[in-house]
Amino acid sequence: MDAAELGKSRFLNNLFKLSGMSMESRMRHWLMPPKRTLEGADIKPGQTVLEVGCGTGFFTLPAAEMIGESGRLIALEPLADFAERVRTKVLGAGLSHVEVIQRDALNTQLEAASIDLVLLFGVVPFPTLPLGRLLPEMHRVLKADGTLAVWLFPTTAGVPSAIVRSGLFTEIAKKNGVYRYARSSGAQPPRAPA
């Protein structure tokens, strides 16, 4: 299925509704506190951050808190149910610097060079987020000095090496299970993305 159709699929919305329960479980909060994982992304107050596939918002509110009101968080999610759930949470918390957009990460429609930090947290590898299309779009929206932060769970499945092979990013560091990459100038053509 084309990723653009994701948000409209009743089957996928129902399926993800079930998995949404585990995304929000107390056990998950206890085993992997979201703030600790987010610390690995080296978020700085005032940044403009794009969170890809925010799901039910496990990372969204803690990330918004770390960015602060001088910054901006764009939480992107194609599934209508999840996007609505996160919107409700954001409204409830009175966070005016968070915007939830129901969109496909392969075609974000965001301005080029407008984002300081992209969070790919718990979203790759995923069939509707092929790296060969996702990475060029993340490279496009990131500022020249922007960073891509990737948290992979439960398996890395060759993603870190595929990101480096793409030629679009270079690895900076790994902390709390989060890989950080600097946006490359893009001078070199991408090499065989996964």
Ligand X SMILES: C[S@@+](CC[C@H](N)C(=O)[O-])C[C@H]1O[C@@H](n2cnc3c(N)ncnc32)[C@H](O)[C@@H]1O
Fill in the per-residue mask, 134 to 173: x = in contact with ligand X (CB under 6 A), - = not in contact: ----------------------------------------
Q: For residue 100, state whether it binds ligand X (rule: CB under 6 A).
A: no
Q: For residue 6, state whether it binds ligand X (rule: CB under 6 A).
A: yes
User: Least distance (Å) from ligand X to the CB of residue 42?
Assistant: 18
Interaction with ligand X in 55-74: which residues (CB under 6 A)? 55, 58
Distances (CA, A) of 150 to 1, 52, 76, 165, 183: 24, 10, 15, 15, 13
Point out which span in 121-129, 135-143, 167-175, 184-192 binds ligand X (CB under 6 A): 121-129
User: Least distance (Å) from ligand X to the CB of residue 78?
Assistant: 5
CA atoms within 13 A on the CB side of 17: 10
Point out which span in 38-46, 49-57, 137-145, 171-179 binds ligand X (CB under 6 A): 49-57
Q: What is the DSSP letter of 176?
A: T
Q: Considering beta carbons, is residue 47 or 128 the nearer one to ligand X?
A: 128
Distance CA 86, CA 121 (A): 16
Q: For residue 82, state whether it binds ligand X (rule: CB under 6 A).
A: yes
Q: Considering beta carbons, is residue 109 or 161 the nearer one to ligand X?
A: 109
3-state secondary structure of 136: helix
Are the beta carbons of 184 and 168 closer than 8 angstroms? yes
| Strand pairing class (178-183; 142-151) | antiparallel
Distance CA 87, CA 50 (A): 15
Distance CA 158, CA 155 (A): 9
Point out which span in 38-46, 65-73, 123-131, 154-162 binds ligand X (CB under 6 A): 123-131
Burial class (CB in 10 A: 0-12, 13-18, 19+), 24: middle
One residue of 50, 52, 66, 110 binding ligand X per CB under 6 A: 52
Residues that bind ligand X (CB under 6 A): 3, 6, 16, 23, 52-55, 58, 76-79, 82, 104-106, 121-123, 126, 128-129
